[in-house]
Amino acid sequence: MEQEKRGQWASNFGFLMAAIGSAIGLGNIWGFPYKMGANGGFIFLIIYLALVSFVGFATMLGELALGRKYGMGVIGTYRKISEKYTWIGWLGWLSGFFILAFYSVLGGFTVRYFFGFLLEMFSSGAGFGGMDSGAFFGSYIINAPVVLLYHAIFMGATIIIVMGGISGGIEKFSAIAMPTLFVMVIIVVIRSVTLEGSFVGLEFMFKPDIEAIKEIGLMRVLKTAAGQMFFSLSLGMGCMITYGSYLSKNENLEKNAMIIPIADTTFACLSALAVLPAVGAFIYQGVEGVSFGAGPGLLFVTLHRVFSVGMGGFMGNFFGAFFYFLVFIAAVTSSISLLEVCTAYFIDKRVAKGLSPDRKKITLIMGIIIFLLGFLPAMDGLGSGRAGGAMIDIPAVIFGMKEVRVAFDCWLDFYDMISEGVFMPLGAMLMSLIIGWKLKTTLIKEEVESTPGYQIRAYNFWDICFKFIVPLAMFFVLLGQLDDFFGLGIF
C-alpha cells in the first residue's frame, strides 16, 4: 500500500532509462572530455575504467539494493538501518540540494545557447548579438537577470516533470529522451570526426600521455577520475537509493547495476568523441581562440566558436542548436533525479504518517527553495571580473582558516566542492563500510535473490569491493581532497 502511494516504475526499461538519464548529464558531456584530455588521455581512460569496474559497479548495486530493500529515499533508508546513521542520509540529501542549485544555473546556460543558435539560423546576429564567442559568454555570465531567467526556465522544466510522478513524469520523459539522446550524440560524433583535422583532437584524447601523469601526479589523476566517476554515475548521494526504492522485486538488480555504468561510460566516451575532434579540427584549421581549455569555457566558449566560426553559416547554427538541445536534454534527465532525492524525503514522511503524498506541492516548494539557493552561483558571474574573487571571504568565515580561502573562485566551485568533493565520496565510503561490515554483504545477496528464481552471480567480487576496495579508494579520494584544501602537500 505504502509502495503504491510512493509510486513505482512501470517497466524495467523505463527504470533503466531514468537511471541512465540521471547518470548521463553535464558531467559526461562537459566534464569527462576535458578531464580526460588534461589528465593523461588514454591512461586516464584506463584508470577511469578500472574505477568503474571496482568501485562504480559495487556502489551502484549497493545503492539500488538498499533502496529497494527499505523502500525509502536516502534519509529514510539510513534511518531504517539505524537511527544513528540518519545523518549519512542527510549528507546525501544536502548533496542533491547543492548540486541542483548550480546544475540548474548551468542547465539554463544550455537553454540560452540553444535559443541563441536557433535564432541565428533565421537571422544573423539575432541569437548572440553579433558578438564573438568569448565576448558573448563574458557578457552573459555577468548579466544576472538573464542568467536567473534561464535558471528559472530550466528549474521550471525540472519541477514540471517531477510533479508528474515516478512512472507518469520521470519515466515517461526519460523513456523518450534517452534513446533520442543516443541517436543525437552519434550524429554529432560523425560530424565531428569527419571534419578536416579531427585527428588533432583524437590524438589529444587517446595519446597515452605519461609526461602529463608525471607532472600532475598519479594520486591527483586518480582523485580527479574518482570524483568524475561519482558525479557522472550519480553515486554517493543516494540518488540511486531513491530510484531503487521505486523498483519492484521482479527486476534483476545485479544486471541493472552493470548496465547503468556501462551506458554512462559509453556515453562519456561518445561525448569526448563529439567534442574533442571538432575542437582539434579547428585548431588544425587555424581558427583563432579554439583550444582544449577546461571549465565552462570549453562547453560555452570553445564549442560556440566551433559552431559559429569553425563550421559557420546555416549548418554551423543548425548543429549548434542541435548540440545544445542535446546537452539540455541530458541535463534535465539528471536534474529531475536530483530534485526527486530532495522531494522523496518529504513524500516518505507524509506516507509514513498515512497522509496523501502531495507530490505536486512538495515538488514545487522544494524546487523554489533550490532555485533561490541557485541565486548565489547565478549572480556572481562565475567569479569573473573580481580579482581575488568576492566569494573567497565566505568560506574563510565558515572555517576561519586562511588556506581555505584560495580554494574557491566562485559559488559554483564552492557548492561543487561540498557535494562532489566531500559529501559524495564520504557517503560512498560510509555506505560501503556499513554494507560490508555492519549489515554484511549477505544482505545484498538476499536482496538480489529476492527476485524470483535469480541467483547472485558475482557474490565474492561484491564482497571484496564492499569490504575493502571501495572504502580504501574513497579514503584516498578524501585524503586528496583534504590535501587540496589545506595545502598539506601529501600528494
Residues of this chain, 27-66, that bind ligand PHE according to CB under 6 A: 27-28
β-bridge partners, 41: 208
The nearer residue to ligand PHE, 20 or 290, going by C-beta atoms, is 20
| Least Cβ distance, residue 29 to ligand PHE (angstroms) | 8
Instruction: Between 32 and 128, name the residue whose CB sits nearer to ligand PHE.
Output: 32
Closer CB to ligand PHE, 243 or 307, in the complex:
243
Least Cβ distance, residue 333 to ligand PHE (angstroms): 9
Q: Please tell me whether residue 23 binds ligand PHE under the rule CB under 6 A.
A: yes
Cell representation of residue 187: 550524429
Tell me how far, at minimum, the Cβ of 306 lies from ligand PHE, in Å: 21
Residue 85: CB atoms within 10 A of its CB come to 18
The site map against ligand PHE for 86-105 (x = CB under 6 A) is: -------------x------
User: Does 337 help bind ligand PHE (rule: CB under 6 A)?
Assistant: yes
237 binds ligand PHE (CB under 6 A): yes
> Which residue number, 192 or 242, has a Cβ lying nearer to ligand PHE?
242
Q: How many CB atoms lie within 10 A of CB 100?
A: 29
Question: Please, which residue, 102 or 136, has the CB nearer to ligand PHE?
Answer: 102
Q: Is there binding between residue 333 and ligand PHE (CB under 6 A)?
A: no
C-beta closer to ligand PHE: residue 60 or 283 = 60
Tell me: does residue 170 bind ligand PHE (CB under 6 A).
no
SS3 41: strand
Q: Does 26 bind ligand PHE (CB under 6 A)?
A: yes
Q: Rounded CA gap, 270 and 185, in Å? A: 7
b/e sequence 367-392, b meaning 16+ C-beta within 10 Å = beebbebbbbbbbbbbbeeeeebebb
Whether the CB-CB separation of 333 and 18 falls below 8 Å is answered with yes
Q: How far apart are CA 374 and CA 153, in angstroms?
A: 13
208 bridge partner residues: 41
Nearer to ligand PHE among residue 23 and residue 155 (C-beta): 23
C-alpha grid cell, residue 289: 581562440
d(CA 372, CA 417): 19
Grid cell at residue 7: 509510486
Site for ligand PHE in 205-234 (CB under 6 A): 231-232, 234
C-alpha span between 166 and 14 (Å, rounded): 10
State the nearest-atom distance from the C-beta of 270 to ligand PHE, in Å. 13
C-alpha to C-alpha distance for 439 and 173, rounded to whole angstroms: 36
Contact residues for ligand PHE (CB under 6 A)?
22-23, 25-28, 99, 231-232, 234, 237, 239, 334, 337-338
